[in-house]
C-alpha cells in the first residue's frame, strides 16, 4: 500500500553487482550469521520474517517521526477511549453483523481495513487517533498554516479518525492567522446613481460637525450640486431636520427623493411620517458603506 503511491520499475541485479544487498540480510539474525552463498542465503529467511520486520519498522516510523505524540501515549489513550477499545475487541474477535451505535458506524463501514499493532489501531497504513489527541495532532500539522487542500492531504497520508475532513475545515476556518492572511473577496464593480434630470428632484443630506461646538445640516442637490447648509446649534433630532427641510422646500420645492445615511434623525417614525405626507421617497445608504452618500 505504501509503494502503490509511486511509479517504479523492478529490475533483477546479481548480488555481486548490488552494493545494497548486505542491507537486506543484516537485519535478520539467521541471514547475518549464515555464510554468504549468494541468493541462496535468503532461502533461510521466511516470508513472514520480512513481513513482520517491514511492518514493525514502518509502524514505528509513522508513529515516532510523523506524529507529535509518543507510542506509549497513543497506546494508553487508545485503551482509555471507549469507542476505540470496542473497535479493538471487534478487530481481534470479529465484528457483529449489524451495529446500532451511531459512534461505531464510521468504523463498521470500513471494518475490513483495521488492524491492531502494539496496542493501537491502524487503518491500512494510517494511525487511528483517539479523540483526546485529535486537536493536538491537527494543531501540530497546521503550524505552517497550509491551506485546506494541502492540510487535508497531509492528514490523509498519516492518520484517520471519523470526521477528519470536517475537523480540518473547522480548524482552518477558526485560525486567526489564516483569516488575516486570507485574500479579500473581489470587489463589486461600482454602481453609479442614475443621473437626475431636473434640479432639486433628488437631494442628499447629512450632518457635519461638531464645528466649534455646533452641528450643521448639509443638503445638496444631485443635479446642480447646489449646497444648502443649516445651523442646527447642537441638535441632531428629527424635529430639527424636519424644520430645516420645510425651509428648504419653501425655497426650492418638494424633492422627489431624499438620500441620507442610517442616522436616527433620518430613520425615526417622525421623519418617515414627514416623507409620507409629502410623498417623498427616502433612500438610505447601505450599512457599513457610507460612501454611497458621499456627496453630502
pLDDT tens-digit series, residues 44-81: 333 344 344 444 444 554 444 555 677 888 888 889 99
Collect contacts of 183-189 with beta carbons under 8 A, ≥24 apart: none
Give the per-residue pLDDT at 28: 55
Instruction: Note the pLDDT tens digit of each residue in 239-288.
Output: 999 999 999 999 999 999 999 988 888 989 999 999 999 999 998 888 77
Confidence of residue 227 (pLDDT cuts 50, 70, 90): very high
* Residue 204: band (very low, low, confident or very high) from pLDDT cuts 50, 70, 90: very high
Task: Give the tens place of pLDDT for each residue, 11-56.
Answer: 888 877 777 777 766 655 554 444 444 433 333 333 344 344 444 4
Lowest mean pLDDT among 85-94, 107-116, 144-153: 144-153
- Around 138, how many Cα atoms within 13 Å sit in the side-chain half-sphere? 24
Q: Which comes out higher in pLDDT, residue 191 or 58?
A: 191
**Residue found under cell 489501531:** 121
| Amino acid 253: pLDDT | 92
Of all residues in the chain, what percent carry a pLDDT higher than 90? 24
The span from the CA of 152 to the CA of 166, in Å, is: 10
The whole-number pLDDT of residue 4 equals: 75
pLDDT of residue 36: 46
Quick check: 232 and 256 in contact, CB under 8 A?
no
- pLDDT recorded at residue 60: 53
Mean pLDDT, residues 123-150 = 86
| Stated pTM of the model | 0.45
Q: What are phi and psi of 7, to 5 degrees?
A: -100, 120
Q: What is the mean predicted confidence (pLDDT) over 168-190?
A: 83
Residue-level pLDDT at 68 = 67
Q: How wide is the angle at C-alpha 118 spanned by C-alphas 30 and 127, nearest 5°?
A: 115
C-alpha cell at 107: 468504523
C-alpha cell of residue 166:
470536517
Mean pLDDT of 72-94: 89
pLDDT of 243:
92
The residue to which cell 514502518 is assigned: 58
Q: How far is Cα 206 from Cα 219, in angstroms, rounded to an integer?
A: 7
What confidence category does residue 202 fall into, taking pLDDT thresholds of 50, 70 and 90? very high
- Residues near 24 by beta carbon (within 8 Å), at least 6 away in sequence: 42
CB atoms within 10 A of CB 159: 25
Amino acid at each position: 500500500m505504501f509503494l502503490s503511491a509511486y511509479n517504479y520499475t523492478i529490475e533483477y541485479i546479481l548480488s555481486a553487482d548490488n552494493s545494497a544487498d548486505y542491507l537486506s540480510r543484516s537485519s535478520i539474525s539467521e541471514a547475518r550469521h549464515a555464510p554468504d552463498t549468494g541468493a541462496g542465503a535468503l532461502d533461510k529467511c521466511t516470508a513472514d520474517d520480512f513481513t513482520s520486520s517491514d511492518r514493525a519498522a514502518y509502524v514505528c516510523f509513522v508513529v515516532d517521526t510523523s506524529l507529535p505524540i509518543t507510542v506509549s501515549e497513543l497506546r494508553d489513550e487508545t485503551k482509555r477511549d471507549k469507542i476505540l477499545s470496542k473497535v479493538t475487541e471487534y478487530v481481534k474477535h470479529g465484528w457483529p453483523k449489524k451495529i446500532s451505535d451511531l459512534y461505531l458506524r464510521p468504523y463498521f463501514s470500513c471494518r475490513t481495513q483495521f488492524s491492531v499493532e502494539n496496542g493501537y489501531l491502524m487503518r491500512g497504513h494510517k494511525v487511528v487517533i483517539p479523540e483526546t489527541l485529535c486537536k493536538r495532532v491537527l494543531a501540530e500539522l497546521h503550524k505552517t498554516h497550509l491551506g485546506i487542500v494541502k492540510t487535508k492531504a497531509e492528514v490523509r497520508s498519516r492518520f484517520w479518525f471519523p470526521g477528519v475532513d470536517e475537523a480540518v475545515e473547522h480548524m482552518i476556518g477558526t485560525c486567526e492567522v489564516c483569516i488575516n492572511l486570507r485574500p479579500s473577496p473581489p470587489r463589486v464593480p461600482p454602481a453609479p446613481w442614475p443621473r437626475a434630470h431636473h434640479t432639486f428632484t433628488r437631494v442628499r443630506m447629512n450632518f457635519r460637525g461638531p464645528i466649534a461646538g455646533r452641528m450643521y445640516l448639509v443638503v445638496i442637490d444631485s443635479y446642480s450640486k447646489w449646497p444648502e447648509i443649516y445651523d442646527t446649534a447642537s441638535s441632531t433630532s428629527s424635529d430639527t431636520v424636519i424644520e430645516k427641510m420645510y425651509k428648504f422646500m419653501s425655497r426650492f420645492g418638494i424633492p422627489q427623493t431624499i438620500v441620507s445615511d442610517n442616522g436616527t434623525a433620518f430613520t425615526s417614525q417622525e421623519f418617515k411620517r414627514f416623507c409620507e405626507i409629502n410623498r417623498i421617497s427616502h433612500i438610505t445608504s447601505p450599512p457599513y458603506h457610507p460612501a454611497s452618500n458621499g456627496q453630502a
